[in-house]
Amino acid sequence: MTRAPAARSRFRCSDVLRTAWSGVVSRPQRTVLASLGVALGIGALTALSGAAASNQAQLLAELDRMGANLAIVTATPGPDDVPVPLPQTAPEMVGRVDGVAEVGVFETAPEDVHVYRTDLVPATETNGLDVAVARPDVLGAIEATLASGRWFDDATRALPVTVLGHTAADRLGITRPGDRVWIGGHWYGVIGILDSAGLATEIDTAAILGDRWVRDSFAGADIGDLSALYVRAEPGRIDQITDTLPSAASPGSPFVTVSTLTELADARTTADDSLHTLGLVLAGIALLVGAVGIANTMVVTVLERRGEIGLRRSLGARSVHVAVQFLTEAAILALVGGIAGLVLGAAAAAIIAAVSGQPVVIPAEVVAVSPGVAVLVGALAGLAPALRAARLSPTVALRAA
């Protein structure tokens, strides 16, 4: 005797969603509590990830400002012990290197020219200060900030004015722009004072002159030559560009040196990796909290709805139908909670960053995957209760109800 083939299931996706949604909205209090657990988990994930990313961005920016992503390209002496100048095309060529963000140019300073507080100070009392010649693009390349005053522009770079480094201003007793100092036998007006340039101490101890003024006012064969290029790399790319800079600055020349603050760059990499790992650990803990909340809610739901389960089984619903329904309910609860948690977490991260004075950074990957992760976590958390509901026999479920 041939057995008739089993009838195909007519429980369509729309039926699953409608039935699961009915189970969600028919118990608003439990839905709110279950979604709240997920919302807290995803909210904690978003808030902690955002706070960690904001803190990381501030720390890395500070390390970059101190010179972690700064390379200094200089000319080295040739066989006659005379520095071989960098070609005038070097700034443009270096600026085209992939990974280079800014290029600042220092030109050769006049020989035996120093800065003094007044014209009465003996020439030997230099206070360990130097004179540097800079183009206007230097400020952006070294990411220096002005304590007061202004930096060179197209007008002031051709005038007898100076910008003092932080240490230079302190040793000269200059506290504000508008004062004057004695340089190379002439008075120069102070138009700006820099904040500390971090580990670029040669800038801190310099009186900086405009490049056009030096070319027009001082004689010398090397006036106008390029003495150094301060190259600011894009965040995290200093190691990628270091080997390329010599050939870009002076193709074919062996008389080019590139120096970086290796220890600071290594510290930046370590901090980046450590903070990223910390963010992942915190995210995992937050998701675990949400999963436990959904699992507890779904277990209680199965216990309370045994009568419904028994009735549906008696009317012909299969075990797989019951399991899919409860699994879908768990996913819907998780999705609602995930979206709410994402909004709350992003707001919390923004508030934390604003209060701490840090840049607001919400990782794009967190925003993109949080709803999907919430659904996945909810489905996994609801899997055991769903299978438990599917194993209930109709008679036992109706008797227990």
pLDDT digits (tens, 9 = 90+) for 73-120: 888 777 777 777 888 999 999 999 998 988 999 999 998 899 999 999
Strand 100-107 relative to strand 130-134: parallel, antiparallel, unpaired? antiparallel
Taking each helix axis as running N to C, give the angle between helix 13-25 and helix 319-356, from 0 to 180 degrees, rounded to the nearest 10.
60
Longest dimension (CA), the chain: 123
- When pLDDT is cut at 50, 70 and 90, the band that residue 390 belongs to is low
What is the rounded distance in angstroms from the CA atom of residue 16 to the CA atom of residue 358? 46
Beta-strand ranges (E) seen in 118-225 are 130-134, 146-149, 161-164, 180-183, 186-194, 206-210
Asked if 265 and 200 touch (Cβ cutoff 8 Å), the reply is no
pLDDT above 70 as % of the chain: 69
Asked if 239 and 76 touch (Cβ cutoff 8 Å), the reply is no
- Encode pLDDT of 197-240 as tens digits: 765 667 889 999 999 999 999 988 788 889 889 888 887 787 78
Q: Which residue has 């670029």 as its token pair? A: 200
What is the rounded distance in angstroms from the CA atom of residue 106 to the CA atom of residue 343? 48
11 phi, psi to nearest 5 deg: -85, 90
- When pLDDT is cut at 50, 70 and 90, the band that residue 32 belongs to is confident
What is the rounded distance in angstroms from the CA atom of residue 351 to the CA atom of residue 73? 42
130 phi, psi to nearest 5 deg: -120, 170
What is the rounded distance in angstroms from the CA atom of residue 102 to the CA atom of residue 184? 31
Tell me which residue of 62, 65, 232 sits closest to 137, measured CA to CA: 232
- Encode pLDDT of 54-69 as tens digits: 766 776 666 666 556 7
What is the rounded distance in angstroms from the CA atom of residue 370 to the CA atom of residue 199? 41
What is the rounded distance in angstroms from the CA atom of residue 298 to the CA atom of residue 303? 9
pLDDT at residue 209, as a whole number: 95
- Encode pLDDT of 130-151 as tens digits: 999 999 988 888 878 899 999 9
Tell me which residue of 17, 13, 20, 39 sits closest to 329, measured CA to CA: 20
Q: Helix, strand or coil for residue 78?
A: coil
What pTM, to 2 d.p., does this model score? 0.57
- Chain centroid offset of residue 233 CA: 14
Minimum mean pLDDT range among 260-264, 274-278, 303-307, 397-401: 397-401
- Encode pLDDT of 297-312 as tens digits: 666 666 666 656 666 6
Q: Which tokens hold the place of 103?
A: 């290029």
What is the rounded distance in angstroms from the CA atom of residue 179 to the CA atom of residue 190? 6
